[in-house]
Amino acid sequence: MTSASNTSATANKPRIVIVGCGFGGLEATRALRHAPVDITLVDRTNHHLFQPLLYQVATAGLSAPAIAAPVRHLFRRQANVASLLGEVTSIDPASRQVLLAGGMALPYDHLIVAAGATHSYFGRDDWAPYAPGLKTLDDAFEIRRRILLAFESAEKEADLEKQAAWLNFVVIGGGPTGVEMAGTLAEIAHHTLSGEFRRIDPAKARIILLEGSARVLQAMPPELSERATQQLQKLGVEVRLNAKVTAIDANGVQVQPAAPGDVYTIATHCVTWAAGVAASPLGKQLAQSLGLPTDRAGRVAVEADLSLAGHPEISVIGDLAAAKSHLGGHEPRPVPGVSPAAKQMGRVAAANILRRIAGQPTAAFRYRDYGNLATIGRNAAVVDVATPAGHLKFSGYFAWLFWLFAHIYFLIGFRNRIVVLIDWASAYWSKQRYARVITDIDKPPHL
């Protein structure tokens, strides 16, 4: 086991380790830019991923580099940060060390754990090979590969029944990712691929969105869920509510509709899993070692200031934290797993470290809710903005424009913004998607 520390003359500065370079870790690191501290930012990838646009990579609308900024490039001028590519295997609060795969140990005085979430199959991990989720760039490539190969396979298939199965696309889960994926798949089938095939009509592809509950976009007000469903249907998506998935294999998805109704199977070779999210396993490991509880999604219970009970030197933020906050004077409520919340937590955790260093009391986290927005597809989105005068809700074309500019504004890195804007402008007018590259071509289409 080797011990790593910044080799420059910073031996007496407080050592801060930040695990994860998602929205929370990135914001915490930035918030410490003027502090006389020694930060090690460790992530299992070399890039900060702008996850809200990951579905665009999965659906061939954007290239991967457009939404992935190299971490060490982002912090090249922040001299107090050393960026490290590594997989954190465990945290040892007793010796105050973060342990990496390969044996490296990172000692810390203050720790921020922002390891995020992954998709969860609710105990059915055997479904994973047939229904990839969408959390990383590799996930997005895999889904893109399956979508594009399904159309190619349909074009080659002479048997009409088998051909129809290749043209069935199932998205499981009606949250923001599921809605975006389904809407964009409909756009691909109806617009992008129009006129490009000779034996099949891509517009005959069926896009089926399965949602287990009674409405899509549960985080939204019910009327916007209703609007979203209408907009999805207008785009050509079959929205099936109260539809529980009971089995998935290489040939299809078995569905249990709301009672009364018989179990049925949809023949398909292209399934996207957008149904479940679970906190990174690192949360459970850390919580267990400290005897702290995790919630059903594996998130770690945190104090009001985002630190762990009995361990003020450890903060847990973002999707890994089961944080609660007062929202407009009500009882404390769970903070949603969205990027603005992660960024806000990152800033608070960083500020609390500085307060502790200065011997001051830490501050409680208060979530500021700016609202919620979700895109559905071409010219279609729903927006719920929190304003001092109450919530402003709208949908359709202007909601889509609002969503578009909000996302481009928050994209990391100036170059990315310009390129994404050009890509989208060209995609919008041409109805084309330029990133239609199938990689890993030798793998079978549906596995």
Catalytic residues: 180
Nearest CA to 227 out of 237, 240, 217 is that of 217
d(CA 127, CA 111): 35
Question: Toward its own copies, which CB reaches closer, 188 or 374?
Answer: 188
d(CA 378, CA 61): 12
Question: Toward its own copies, which CB reaches closer, 74 or 373?
Answer: 74
Q: Six-digit token pair at 118?
A: 């992954």
- Count the Cβ atoms, other than its own, within 10 Å of residue 202: 19
- What is the separation of C-alpha 366 from the centre of its chain, rounded to a whole number of angstroms? 23
- What is the separation of C-alpha 313 from the centre of its chain, rounded to a whole number of angstroms? 27
Distance of closest approach, residue 202 Cβ to its own copies, in angstroms: 10
Distance of closest approach, residue 36 Cβ to its own copies, in angstroms: 16
Question: Toward its own copies, which CB reaches closer, 82 or 277?
Answer: 82
Question: Toward its own copies, which CB reaches closer, 89 or 242?
Answer: 89
d(CA 322, CA 292): 12
d(CA 98, CA 289): 13
| 3-class state of residue 66 by DSSP | helix
Distance of closest approach, residue 164 Cβ to its own copies, in angstroms: 16
Cα angle vertex 106, ends 32, 120, to 5°?
85
Distance of closest approach, residue 149 Cβ to its own copies, in angstroms: 8
Nearest CA to 106 out of 114, 98, 116 is that of 98
Question: Toward its own copies, which CB reaches closer, 72 or 393?
Answer: 72
Phi then psi dihedrals of residue 328, to 5 deg = 60, 40
Scored b (16 or more CB within 10 A) or e, 338-368 reads: bbbbbbbbbbbbbbbbbebbeeeebeebebe
Cβ-based neighbours of 221, under 8 Å, separated by 6 or more: 384, 391, 393
Residues in the site for its own copies, rule: CB under 8 A?
Answer: 2, 4, 6-8, 44-47, 63-66, 68, 70, 72-73, 76-77, 82-86, 102, 104, 137-138, 141, 148-149, 152, 155-156, 158, 195-199, 415-416, 418-419, 422-423, 426, 430, 432, 434-441
113, β-bridge pairs: 19, 316
Question: Toward its own copies, which CB reaches closer, 17 or 380?
Answer: 17
| 3-class state of residue 159 by DSSP | coil
Phi then psi dihedrals of residue 41, to 5 deg = -105, 115
Distance of closest approach, residue 397 Cβ to its own copies, in angstroms: 24
Which residue carries 């809200």 as its tokens? 52
Distance of closest approach, residue 439 Cβ to its own copies, in angstroms: 6
Distance of closest approach, residue 103 Cβ to its own copies, in angstroms: 10
Question: Toward its own copies, which CB reaches closer, 61 or 276?
Answer: 61
DSSP line for 241-259 = TT-EEEEEETTEEEEEPSS
Cβ atoms of 240 and 210 within 8 Å: the answer is yes
